[in-house]
A and B are shown apart, each in its own frame.
Chain A
Amino acid sequence: MTQENTMIKKLDGKVPTGPVQDRWKTHKFNMKLVNPANKRKYSVLVVGTGLAGASAAASLAELGYNVTTFCIQDSPRRAHSIAAQGGINAAKNYPNDGDSVYRLFYDTVKGGDYRARESNVYRLAEVSSSIIDQCVAQGVPFAREYGGTLSNRSFGGAQVSRTFYARGQTGQQLLLGAYSAMMKEVSKGKIKSYTRREMVELVTVEGKARGIVVRNIVTGEFESYSADAVILATGGYGNVYYLSTNAKASNASAAFRAYKKGAYFANPCYTQIHPTCIPVSGDHQSKLTLMSESLRNDGRVWVPKIKGDKRSPDQIPENERDYYLERIYPSFGNLVPRDVASRNAKLQCDAGFGVSATGMAVYLDFADAIQRKGEDKIRAEYGNLFEMYERITDQNPYKVPMMIYPAIHYTMGGLWVDYNLMSNVPGLFVLGEANFSDHGANRLGASALMQGLADGYFVIPYTIGNYFASEKFAKVETTQTEFATALTTSKNKYAQLLAINGTKTVDEYHRALGHIMWEKVGMGRNEAGLKKAISDIQALRADFWKNVKVSGLSVDVNTELEKAGRVADFLELGELMALDALERKESCGGHFREESQTPENEAMRDDANFCHVAAWEFQGVDAVPTRHIEELTFETVKLTQRSYK
């Protein structure tokens, strides 16, 4: 597989110039406005109703735009943002511990291993405070101190307490806030909400995004919708790995089909792996459950020193245990960043030191903490997590060490967008996890919620207006040829899937793909493995289109057909991820190339050759996509190498 260099474009992120702290202010002033009376003449389709989608839909409807929303679940309130536990960052500096917009900006750029746009990250830090104000005004019940002020905690290794939280259900509460704002506009008739719809096609007219085709999951019918702009807020693509902490319906199809219509897919190889998930218990496993990272504050990670040691943990004496994180990283110990903790767990298991029946787990032991602090204190801090663990595994973590294993959790890559959150397809905006923009190669804890809401509440309301005011919009009807063609393409694709009637279930293919991805495009990647992954995925995809079995009829509810459509996309996206990982011959953040590491086995960036965004342009299913680049410049934060020793 060779890269064609002839057509490489240098992408323009449309980043404003000037001092970083003034760029968003200046840009807001320079953007064109739509007259209040004219806003009702514009319509927007919002696909996905998670934090980014719901907040965008509500804010745009409040301004007067006509909004139509689509979600795959039976209610907009169920999007997977709901599962975020930990919290949301904001540079409020309420605890007076030295936080500032600049510090949040700095931490995020550094945490992302210098692979995000400075301007975007600064804007994110700048609006973070307003997000908290907005959510409180909506009635989000954040944790409070006795005096009635908001509580903060330190999260994910941050050195300041800037994380706001609502028990272990912050994502749920923020989403319900955004959902209620959205339902407020539904009641006013400014939003039309369609549920149980899956986007299957993006429709472009004269080069602009002007509509979508969706499949109604209940009736099996295909429906077309037109508008003046389309917003995708459809989340990430972690389910390429089959087992992930994503919800079952989380999929990449909306974003991927936009890619196939010409939108660039940026940095697909940037995935985040969370170190503290509950291990796989058997082949029946359908998803993985994450436990808050805060567990590592008190738990000690270890494996037996003897390979394949089958003794129960209490039979293994202290001197036969390897507390490997404490051994390798004496200063950070068990609190090393997510990617470091995850990679080391997999290395231990691959070397045969893993525990549990599957050998795919390491211990997270609270015995010392319980002895030091007392069981009551530990119960107060982690009681709900221990309960959840016991519910799933039937083991009592107060008595026996927990077992954990890393799992795919978040994807930093996504559709390429400029500073205005618009993709290279005019009129196609991408928000939240679905875009590639703010987290670089690695996302900090409690920053996903912040970004989703920043995009929806405080960025898109300005930038979409600028787009509307700068362009002319001819009236578009869903009866015109572009829509008819998209409709036919979609119908044919699903009909084709039904017609194969082979022998293997959709899940079998999905599991096989997940296995390839996890082993070769997971935590540690190398050239040979990635090349093998690409050829394996190609073979699997060819087999899928020959041998998959989709039961049921095309009319009404057919979950197998839904899954088949998504897995067909994953089988292409997986290859793209491997290709991106292959071409990025450096390690950065969540992308670890074994060829590029420091003598201490740390990720080593290659800023001379890879300080850029890779944005892929589709050229055909079996053709090699084109790798465009957007140069990243760091004017404010100096490029340095991470070290956690």
Chain B
Amino acid sequence: MSGSNHDTMSLNLKVWRQKNNKDKGSMVDYKLDGVSPDMSFLEMMDTLNTKLVKEQGDTIAFDHDCREGICGMCSMMINGQAHGPEAETTTCQLHMRKFKSGDTIVIEPWRAKAFPVLKDLMVDRSAFDQIIAAGGFVNVNTGNPQDANAILIGQENAELAMDAAACIGCGACVASCKNASAMLFVSAKISQLALLPQGEVESEARTRDMVAKMDELGFGNCTNEAECEAQCPKGIKIENIARMNREWVKGAFAARK
């Protein structure tokens, strides 16, 4: 009657191992028995790592932190899909009951020029921070802003802004896009702020600056296939990319310099 299932699973894992950024890396096969269907995917990885420690091996490096689907730290391409097969689910919230005993599971790091691999499944996503630093903020200092209720925001826009703001910055959009494009990530921030009067003021300049930074960092271009939307663990829509494109047009024509 409880969720725990006493049948354990055996899995064949193909995991990308790469010592460091300079190493070439390769897929390595592991066999793992005793996997409980109640484990999360990361707990399955913990189990594999414990086994590796006992066998004197080097543990598999992977990013994770909150393990409740909100920090955006966990990643992993699982069987060719960012965060695995479940829609709107991060790797840490994916449970092993979604797999069958005897399955082969292919586990790879995010792949993009702008996300270099640091070790095994760990990649460097600092490019996202650089894009935010290029303009993903409202230029307001801590101090005495007007009363919060002095800025009225219609519920519909507030909800749309929140839809976009739900982005956890995990990079699944880049990983899943066949072009390694960051447009869903960038457009989510641009949309959130363009939909709110506080952010709308700087929207054109923000869009120009963030897009320029995104291009400079070597992300690909959007070819409107919505792969990012399908694999985004937070269900961010490509409508946001259209909104960014719109803001970009406005900016391109409004620019004085």
A residues bordering B, Cβ < 8 Å? Answer: 55, 58-59, 62, 73-78, 80, 82-83, 92, 94, 130, 132-139, 141-150, 166-167, 169, 172-173, 176, 179-181, 183-184, 186-187, 193, 195, 218, 245, 247-249, 281-282, 284-287, 289-290, 310, 312-313, 355-358, 391-395, 403, 457-458, 461, 505, 507, 549, 551-553, 556-560
Cβ A137 vs Cβ B138 within 8 A: yes
Q: With a CB–CB cut-off of 8 A, which chain A residues contact B126?
A: 74-75, 195
- Which one of B157-165, B214-222, B223-231, B243-251 contacts A? B157-165
**Bound-complex Cα distance A176 to B72 (A):** 12
A238 CB, nearest partner CB in chain B, Å: 13
B43 in complex: contacting residue of A285, A356, A553, A556, CB < 8 Å: A285
Cβ B198 vs Cβ A391 within 8 A: no
Cβ A144 vs Cβ B196 within 8 A: no
Would you call B1 an interface residue if the criterion is a C-beta within 8 Å of the partner chain's C-beta atoms? yes
Would you call B254 an interface residue if the criterion is a C-beta within 8 Å of the partner chain's C-beta atoms? no
B129 in complex: contacting residue of A147, A193, A395, CB < 8 Å: A193
Cβ A75 vs Cβ B169 within 8 A: yes
**Bound-complex Cα distance A143 to B53 (A):** 47
Interchain residue pairs with CB less than 8 A apart (7): A78-B72, A169-B166, A176-B165, A281-B4, A281-B36, A391-B89, A551-B59
Cβ A82 vs Cβ B70 within 8 A: yes
A59, A74, A461: most-surrounded residue (chain B CB, <10 A) = A74
Cβ A556 vs Cβ B67 within 8 A: no
B162 in complex: contacting residue of A141, A148, A193, A355, CB < 8 Å: A141
Cβ A505 vs Cβ B54 within 8 A: yes
Cβ A281 vs Cβ B38 within 8 A: yes
What 4 pairs between A and B have smallest CB-CB spacing?
A148-B152, A180-B137, A137-B145, A393-B3
B59 in complex: contacting residue of A172, A184, A393, A552, CB < 8 Å: A552
B8 CB, nearest partner CB in chain A, Å: 10
Cβ A286 vs Cβ B40 within 8 A: yes
**Bound-complex Cα distance A458 to B144 (A):** 10
- Whether A148 contacts B153 in the complex (CB less than 8 A), given A74-B126, A549-B53, comes out as yes
Q: With a CB–CB cut-off of 8 A, which chain A residues contact B53?
A: 505, 549, 551, 560
Cβ B129 vs Cβ A143 within 8 A: no
A63 CB, nearest partner CB in chain B, Å: 9
Cβ A144 vs Cβ B73 within 8 A: no
B137 in complex: contacting residue of A134, A184, A193, A393, CB < 8 Å: A184
Q: With a CB–CB cut-off of 8 A, which chain A residues contact B141?
A: 59, 62
A75, A92, A181, A310: most-surrounded residue (chain B CB, <10 A) = A75
B129 CB, nearest partner CB in chain A, Å: 5
B198 in complex: contacting residue of A137, A143, A144, CB < 8 Å: A137
Cβ A180 vs Cβ B142 within 8 A: no
**Bound-complex Cα distance A147 to B158 (A):** 11
Cβ A247 vs Cβ B149 within 8 A: no
Cβ B56 vs Cβ A551 within 8 A: yes
Cβ A73 vs Cβ B152 within 8 A: no
Cβ A137 vs Cβ B140 within 8 A: yes
Residues of chain B from 188 to 243 with CB closer than 8 A to chain A in the complex: 192-193, 196, 198-199
Q: With a CB–CB cut-off of 8 A, which chain A residues contact B64?
A: 248
Cβ B169 vs Cβ A77 within 8 A: yes
Nearest residue (CB) in A for B148 is A136
- Whether A141 contacts B165 in the complex (CB less than 8 A), given A148-B152, A183-B129, A281-B38, comes out as yes
Q: With a CB–CB cut-off of 8 A, which chain A residues contact B147?
A: 133
Q: With a CB–CB cut-off of 8 A, which chain A residues contact B148?
A: 92, 132-133, 135-136, 142, 150
Cβ B1 vs Cβ A141 within 8 A: no
**Bound-complex Cα distance A396 to B97 (A):** 15
Q: With a CB–CB cut-off of 8 A, which chain A residues contact B2?
A: 281, 355-358, 403
Cβ B4 vs Cβ A139 within 8 A: no
Cβ A136 vs Cβ B198 within 8 A: yes
Nearest residue (CB) in B for A188 is B133
A43 CB, nearest partner CB in chain B, Å: 19
Q: With a CB–CB cut-off of 8 A, which chain B residues contact A150?
A: 148-149
Would you call B9 an interface residue if the criterion is a C-beta within 8 Å of the partner chain's C-beta atoms? no
Cβ B145 vs Cβ A180 within 8 A: no
Cβ A74 vs Cβ B138 within 8 A: no
**Bound-complex Cα distance A141 to B157 (A):** 9
**Bound-complex Cα distance A392 to B20 (A):** 34
Q: With a CB–CB cut-off of 8 A, which chain A residues contact B140?
A: 137-138, 181
Cβ B142 vs Cβ A457 within 8 A: yes
**Bound-complex Cα distance A553 to B119 (A):** 13
**Bound-complex Cα distance A290 to B47 (A):** 23
Q: With a CB–CB cut-off of 8 A, which chain A residues contact B97?
A: 394
Cβ A144 vs Cβ B153 within 8 A: yes
Cβ A141 vs Cβ B43 within 8 A: no
Cβ A181 vs Cβ B137 within 8 A: yes
Residues of chain B from 119 to 133 with CB closer than 8 A to chain A in the complex: 119-120, 122, 124-126, 128-129, 132-133
Q: Scoring B residues 1 to 29 as 1 if CB is less than 8 Å from chain A, else 0, what string do you get?
A: 11110000000000000011000000000
Cβ A136 vs Cβ B36 within 8 A: no
Q: With a CB–CB cut-off of 8 A, which chain A residues contact B63?
A: 74
B47 in complex: contacting residue of A193, A284, A461, A559, CB < 8 Å: A284
Residues of chain B from 27 to 43 with CB closer than 8 A to chain A in the complex: 36, 38-40, 42-43
8 new A-B contacts, CB < 8 A, other than A139-B198, A286-B67, A289-B67, are: A58-B142, A139-B193, A148-B152, A312-B1, A356-B4, A357-B2, A394-B38, A395-B3
**Bound-complex Cα distance A372 to B50 (A):** 49
Cβ B146 vs Cβ A133 within 8 A: yes
Would you call B71 an interface residue if the criterion is a C-beta within 8 Å of the partner chain's C-beta atoms? yes
Q: With a CB–CB cut-off of 8 A, which chain A residues contact B105?
A: none
Q: With a CB–CB cut-off of 8 A, which chain B residues contact A186?
A: 129, 133
- Whether A75 contacts B119 in the complex (CB less than 8 A), given A137-B198, A505-B54, comes out as no
Cβ A141 vs Cβ B59 within 8 A: no
- Whether A83 contacts B68 in the complex (CB less than 8 A), given A218-B118, A357-B2, A505-B53, comes out as yes
Q: With a CB–CB cut-off of 8 A, which chain B residues contact A393?
A: 3, 38
Q: With a CB–CB cut-off of 8 A, which chain B residues contact A62?
A: 141-142
Q: With a CB–CB cut-off of 8 A, which chain B residues contact A137?
A: 138, 140, 145-146, 151, 198
